[in-house]
Structures are given as C-alpha cells and as structure tokens.
C-alpha cells in the first residue's frame, strides 16, 4: 500500500513539475524576442497588400443614409468611399460570404437575435464584388462556409437549403450526419458555385480566404458542434479553446485540423474548377486561411498551417488576426505578434497576411468594452492609433508580412476601433485615415 501511494505521489510530482516548466516557458516567451539570422519567407516590400476596404457593414449603413467625410471629400455611396480608400493607398477590396443566401427582414437566426444575420449574405458579397469590378479593384473574398458567422469563439455549420442543386448532395440528411467524404463532396460543389458567381461579376480575385478565425473549426467540423466526422468534438467544453493551443496542439491536429484541411482543399478545388469552366487563367491565384492569435502561441500558429499542408490544403499565404488591445495570453502583444509572423515564415515558408487589425483611439464600449488594453508605447488616442498601424506596416514589409487589413474602418458599431468618429450618421475620418499617404 505504501509503495502504491509513493508511486502516485511521484507521478503527481512529475505532472506538477511539467506544468510549472510549461508555464515558465510560456511566461519567459512573453518578454523575449530574438530574430537571429532571420530571413523572411518572401520579399513583400514591393507587393505589400494595403487592404483598406469597405467593411461587410458598409452596405447596410449606406442604405440607412450614412455619409463619410475624409478631409475635404464626402462619400455618400460605397463606390465613392472605396475610391477615397484607393487614393489613400488601398490595393484591394474585401467581402465576407456566409452560406445564408438572401437578406431577411429581421436580424434573427433560429429565433435568436443575431447581429450577423444580414451582413454576410451571399447576395451582399456579390454586390461588393460588382463594386470591385466597376472600380477595377481586386477583391479578396472570404468564404466562411458557415451559415451566418464564425470566429475563434463561434462556429456554425453551413446550410444549403437555398442552393437546391448543392443541397441535393446531402440526400436529405442533416449536416451533422455526413461523413468527411460526403462533406467534401458538398463543399467542392459549393466552391464551384460561389467561385463562378464571384468571377462572373467581372471582378479580379488574386487572393481567396477560406474560413474566419478558424482555429477551432470550419464548415461544422468544430469544437462544440455535433458531427459524425469526430463525435469527440461536441462534448469539449469552451474553456479548452484557451488550453489546447498551448498544451495540446497534437490533440488539435489529430482530432480537428486534419479533417478541416481536407474540407478546405475541397472548397479550393471547387473554386479552381470555376476558373476552368469560365476559361479564366488561375495561375498566380493564392489561397489562405485565417486564424486568431489571442488564444494561440507562435508555435501553435505554425503548427496549424503546417497541418493544413500535410493534409492536402496547400496555401500561399497564412492569415492571422492581430488585435493589440484585446485580452490575450501574452502580456506583451508586440512580441507575440512578431514571434508569430517570424515563426510562420521560418517553420512554414509562408508570408503572413493580417486579415483583421485595429487599435482603439479611446476607451471601447459595448460588447468590446474589454478591448481597451493599452499597447506599450502607443496611447489610446488618434495619434497612437495611427502610429501603431504605421509601425506594424513598416516592420512587416521587411519581415515577411504580405499585407494588412484594417478591420471595419467604416463601421459605427466598431466604436473607438473605427477609422471614423460618428455623429448622426456622419462618419468623420480620424488621423489614421486623413494622414494616410498612398
């Protein structure tokens, strides 16, 4: 009996020491950034993507009578605002597309309020593509493969009832009942459909992004959702999103990422088939996937993109979110960001595109009230907001950063993060926008 108790104590001691060592390593990495003989995966200084674009929320705002003032110019249409962005150096536009096909009267999904119910529909995405074609600006579509929305905390399965030919491939079965092979067959058909619809608008697409902050799932194969692909995922508690990327990356690779990679590959195959069908040259077209970094370590980010490659999804660019004022595992957000970019460059051979970035010019309000963590060296005022954005770009151009998208520059509901101050449906540009040079 004594030997058994002694052995148990030894095991617990080893586990405790391992946890202390792991936590110590994480803490040490908070404050140390060493480049060594760092060489970027790609020289992006000449091809840097300044993805300042109309946000997914811009069309509904203009329909409600919003206008924008940037210096001595006023924009009362989406086209005019995007033209001003181009004059400030924007090189592309953006649209986010969910599988919900049409705008409905209420912002409700399955009887519950849903702020994303009517801002990422297929129809709205196509309208933004038409604007891009009209202005001769390339557009970066984000194909979420979720019904109305997904991010690092929220995943939704796609729904295809409004796409009869695609829905028929489910053979009357619920999405949760489909095998991985069956899911991929549906997603390839959807990729072909959405790819063709976008390209038929006449727009140019150089970069496709699949998924949105897809650390924990894509197309319904996700943490917390029921799926026949891996039943383990449904019962996993939410707090594991904050544990697994640091302490169990291997679990994510085995139980989640390997399946999602094959689903990404299916959507990509469908999109490329649309190019073939329309006789459009797809050489040089790039694909990406976009993950959040606030719950990830640089090592786990690199592991994610390498897992994608190992399991059939070949990418040309790695996408990340970077929100310096948001709560995070890292105390020093600048070090975390730089380590993430350089780790992906080194370990994956991929340049990095910041799919979402912003920093507040004051205290945040509403659902983002907790996103008011001041970045060292940058005040939360207009000057600090502009300086941080400029400094990220300056560092990134020499460190394998492919580009940056300032998230929702025109959205009133983004509060102090927006590039505009709002009063009575008039958005007046802050320093970050007025001082921007092409």
Contact yes or no for 410/67 (Cβ under 8 A): no
Length of the chain: 438
Nearest to 52 by CA among 12, 18, 85: 85
* Residue 331 pLDDT: 78
Question: What value, to the nearest 5°, has the Cα angle with vertex 290 and ends 287 and 295?
Answer: 155
> Phi and psi (nearest 5°) for 239?
-65, -15
- Please give the domain boundaries of the chain with CATH numbers for all domains: 36-434 (3.20.20.80)
pLDDT in tens, 278-335: 999 999 999 999 999 998 999 999 999 999 999 999 999 999 999 999 988 777 889 9
* Residue 438 pLDDT: 76
* Residue 37 pLDDT: 75
Q: CB-hemisphere CA count at 13 Å for 268? A: 23
* Residue 1 pLDDT: 45
Sign of the CA dihedral 125, 134, 202, 402? negative
Looking at the whole model, is its pTM more than 0.85?
A: yes
Paired tokens of 284? 């040089």
pLDDT in tens, 372-422: 999 999 999 999 999 999 999 999 999 999 999 999 999 999 999 999 999
* Residue 257 pLDDT: 98
* Residue 2 pLDDT: 43
**Which residues in the chain show pLDDT less than 70?**
1-34
């Amino acid at each position: 009996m004594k030997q058994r108790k002694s052995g148990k104590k030894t095991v617990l001691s080893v586990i405790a020491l391992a946890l202390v060592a792991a936590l110590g390593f994480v803490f040490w990495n908070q404050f140390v950034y060493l480049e060594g003989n760092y060489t970027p995966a790609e020289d992006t200084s000449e091809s840097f993507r300044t993805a300042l674009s109309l946000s997914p929320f811009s069309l509904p705002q203009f329909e409600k009578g919003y206008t924008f003032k940037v210096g001595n110019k006023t924009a009362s249409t989406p086209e005019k605002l995007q033209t001003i962005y181009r004059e400030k150096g924007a090189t592309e536009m953006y649209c986010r597309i969910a599988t919900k096909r049409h705008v409905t009267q209420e912002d409700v999904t399955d009887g519950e309020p849903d702020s994303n119910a009517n801002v990422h529909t297929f129809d709205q995405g196509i309208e933004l593509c038409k604007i891009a074609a009209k202005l001769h600006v390339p557009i970066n579509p984000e194909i979420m493969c979720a019904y109305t929305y997904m991010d690092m905390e929220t995943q939704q399965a796609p729904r295809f009832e409004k796409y009869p030919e695609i829905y028929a491939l489910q053979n009357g079965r619920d999405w949760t009942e489909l095998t991985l092979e069956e899911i991929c067959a549906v997603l390839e058909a959807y990729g072909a459909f959405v790819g063709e619809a976008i390209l038929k608008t006449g727009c140019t697409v150089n970069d496709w992004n699949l998924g949105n902050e897809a650390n924990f799932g894509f197309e319904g194969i996700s943490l917390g959702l029921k799926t026949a692909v891996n039943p383990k995922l449904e019962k996993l508690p939410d707090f594991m999103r904050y544990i697994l990327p640091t302490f169990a990356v291997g679990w994510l690779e085995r139980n989640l990422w390997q399946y999602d990679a094959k689903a990404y590959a299916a959507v990509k195959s469908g999109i490329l088939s649309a190019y073939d069908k329309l006789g459009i040259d797809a050489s040089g077209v790039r694909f990406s996937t976009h993950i959040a970094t606030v719950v990830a370590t640089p090592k786990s980010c690199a592991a994610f993109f390498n897992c994608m490659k190992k399991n059939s999804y070949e990418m040309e660019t790695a996408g990340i979110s970077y929100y310096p004022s948001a709560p995070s595992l890292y105390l020093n957000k600048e070090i975390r960001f730089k380590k993430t970019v350089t780790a992906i460059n080194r370990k994956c051979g991929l340049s990095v595109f910041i799919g979402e970035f912003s920093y507040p010019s004051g205290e945040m309000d509403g659902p983002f009230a907790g996103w008011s963590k001041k970045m060292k060296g940058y005040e939360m005022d207009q000057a600090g907001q502009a300086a941080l954005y400029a400094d990220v770009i300056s560092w990134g151009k020499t460190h394998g950063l492919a580009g940056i998208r300032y998230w929702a520059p025109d959205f009133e509901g983004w509060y102090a993060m927006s590039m505009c101050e709002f009063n009575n449906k008039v958005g007046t540009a802050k320093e970050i926008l007025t001082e921007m040079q092409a």
